[in-house]
Structure formats: structure tokens, C-alpha cells
Amino acid sequence: MTATPVEETTIARDSADALREVVRERYARAALSVTESCCAGACDPAASVFGSVNYDDGAHGSLPVRALEASLGCGNPTALAQLMPGEVVLDLGSGGGIDVLLSARRVAPGGKAYGLDMTPEMLDLARANQAEAGVTNVEFLLGSIESVPLPDASVDVIISNCVVNLSPDKGQVFREAHRVLRPGGRLAISDVVLSRPLPPELTQVVALWTGCVAGALTEDACLTLLREAGFEDASVEPTTVMDADHLRDIVSGIDADEIPAGIDVDRAIMALDGVIRSAAIRARVPEAAVAGGSGGRA
């Protein structure tokens, strides 16, 4: 039986604030590692599976190396969003700024790209990358994706790259996205989804939370939360399926003392072969939507 969205977003930690702090510290270290010339792939086991490999040669040639090294995502949402000149785009969890910089160029002239991140170190890195790239129609904001510091109905497109799964309240993330999008606005994100729920003991492994696995929704739960937030035309399209070899790469980067006692790692890997996927997630705000309606801030 498929678990309900509430069951899937339950966090086996002291509090949501504690989880956010763990995530913030992990991404602060990633930002500092990049500024010290550490390749993201060497700092994060999951980056060898996802990360900057999702960007074509054109993107590689037009952005600072540090922006690519800081890409810890699972797709290329700028390719999903079909951005047009003049649009306003918001990147939830913008990290080192790769998707914001790409988006800013696609919405020029007349458009603007916002990047929102809760990690000051990542914002410092993103602003340095912006200066190096010479892109001016960009603004980076400090804040959480559950409480976006922008007015109602102020954005045409929302993108995100493997960040929503890190939130302890994904329903609120989607409600906030709905709130800031204009009628007819669209959501186009890349994220990790599951074909079925993880075993409960694995959701308690902190490294699997920060590695974008333990917090992932099932495909069905993701669709349900989007519809409950007021979106229409919601879809989840898997793009990369993590097989047993990918899972072994991730497990190899986890400290043995972080794995709960009694877990047979090899058996868990085989049981999860093909369950974890990166996916293109799309949805749209109805044309007749009232700003601040079903997506209003709690």
C-alpha cells in the first residue's frame, strides 16, 4: 500500500529546525570547498551520479568554473522551463548560482532571475560567480523555500534543482511556490523521487537526508501535494534511475557509525535498485487563480 504524503514527509529527527541546520551546515561546507578549489564531485558522493554533468557544453563554456563545481543538483531545470525573454524566474535553493545565471541570460532582455538560498556561504559564492560572469539581471536572496521573501503573484516561472526533497515541509514549499507565481505561471523543477517509500530505518540516516535521498517523495505523493497546493497539469517524469552501482557509490561516502544497527547494507541496496530516480516535475497555476489564494502563506 502506498504511504500517504503525511507519512512520507515525517522526519525522524528532533525538529524541522534541526534538520535545516544539518542541511545548512553541509551546503556551507560544500560552498567553502569550491572556493578552495575542491571539485564538488570529490566532496559529495551523489555528485558523481548527478551534478554538473546535466549541463551541455554551451553551458560549460559560458559560466565560471566554480559555478559548475558547486552544482550539486540532479538535473537541468533551465532546460525544462522553456524560459522566454521578459519573464521573471525564481530558483529555489540556488546554491552556487548556475541555474540563476543560465536563466538570467535566457530571459534577457527585459527579464530577471532571482536566486533564493538559506546558506550565506552559498550566496557569497553565487554573487562572486555572478560578478565573474558579468550578468546584471540577477538578484540573490537569503531565505527559506518554505517562506519566500517575494510578493504574491510576482514570478512567471519557478525552477529548482534537487532542493525540495531537503525541506521538512514540502507541502508548504509548493504552497509558497503557488503564492508567488502569477496566474498561468509554471513550476519546472528537477528533483529526486521514489517509486515507493523507503524503509523507515533509512529515513533516519542523516547522510541520506543531506544526500537528497531520505527526504524524497514518492511520485504519487509529489503529485498529490502539488494538486493540494492549487496547481494543475502536474506531472512527474523520471529522467535518471539510480541502480545498485549508484547506490553503492553513495553508501561508500557514509560513515559507518551513521548507519543504524541491524541494517544489512547489501540487502538494502538490492532492495532499492531502481527505486530512487531524478525526475522532471512540472505544474502550472490556473489562469484564473487568485494571488495568495490556495497558496497563501500560513
Assess if residue 298 is contained within a domain: no
Assess if residue 296 is contained within a domain: no
- Secondary structure element (H or E) that encloses residue 270, with its range: helix 265-271
Q: How far apart are CA 205 and CA 18, in angstroms?
A: 14
Q: For residues 50-89, b (16+ Cβ closer than 10 Å) or e, as one string? A: bbbebbeeebeeebbebbbbbbbbbbbbbbbbebeeebbb
State the average pLDDT for the chain.
78
In the chain, count H helices and then E strands: 13, 8
Enter the DSSP assignment of 144.
B
pLDDT digits (tens, 9 = 90+) for 75-127: 677 777 889 999 999 999 998 898 999 999 999 999 999 999 998 998 999 99
Assess if residue 215 is contained within a domain: yes
> Which residues constitute the domain of residue 92?
13-284
Q: How far apart are CA 165 and CA 216, in angstroms?
A: 5
Under the banding of pLDDT at 50, 70 and 90, the label for residue 6 is very low
Describe the crossing of helices 98-107 and 120-133 by its angle, rounded to 10 degrees: 40
pLDDT exceeds 50 at position 5: no
Assess if residue 294 is contained within a domain: no
The pLDDT of residue 38 is 30
The pLDDT of residue 189 is 95
The pLDDT of residue 209 is 54
183 vs 198, higher pLDDT: 183
Assess if residue 31 is contained within a domain: yes
Query: 3-class DSSP state for residue 230?
Result: coil
C-alpha cell at 98: 548556475
C-alpha cell at 223: 503529485
The pLDDT of residue 32 is 52
Cell numbers 532492495 label which residue? 271
Under the banding of pLDDT at 50, 70 and 90, the label for residue 218 is very high
Assess if residue 256 is contained within a domain: yes
Of 213, 205, 217, 212, give the one whose Cα is nearest residue 170. Answer: 217
The pLDDT of residue 37 is 34
The pLDDT of residue 272 is 83
pLDDT digits (tens, 9 = 90+) for 224-240: 999 999 999 999 999 88
Enter the DSSP assignment of 86.
T
The pLDDT of residue 113 is 98
What number of residues does the chain have?
A: 298
Assess if residue 5 is contained within a domain: no
Q: How far apart are CA 223 and CA 174, in angstroms?
A: 11
Q: Is the dihedral of CA 22, 27, 28, 32 positive or negative?
A: positive
The pLDDT of residue 87 is 98
215 vs 2, higher pLDDT: 215
End-to-end CA distance of the chain: 31
**Range in 6-20, 210-224, 225-239 the model is least confident about:** 6-20
The pLDDT of residue 36 is 41
Cell numbers 515525517 label which residue? 10
C-alpha cell at 175: 504552497
Of 174, 183, 292, give the one whose Cα is nearest residue 222. Answer: 174
Confidence (pTM): 0.78
pLDDT digits (tens, 9 = 90+) for 66-81: 545 545 556 677 777 8
Assess if residue 1 is contained within a domain: no
pLDDT exceeds 50 at position 201: yes
Number of domains present in the structure of the chain: 1
Q: How far apart are CA 137 and CA 105, in angstroms?
A: 8
pLDDT digits (tens, 9 = 90+) for 255-286: 777 776 777 888 888 888 888 888 999 999 99
Query: Domain of 118: which CATH number?
Result: 3.40.50.150
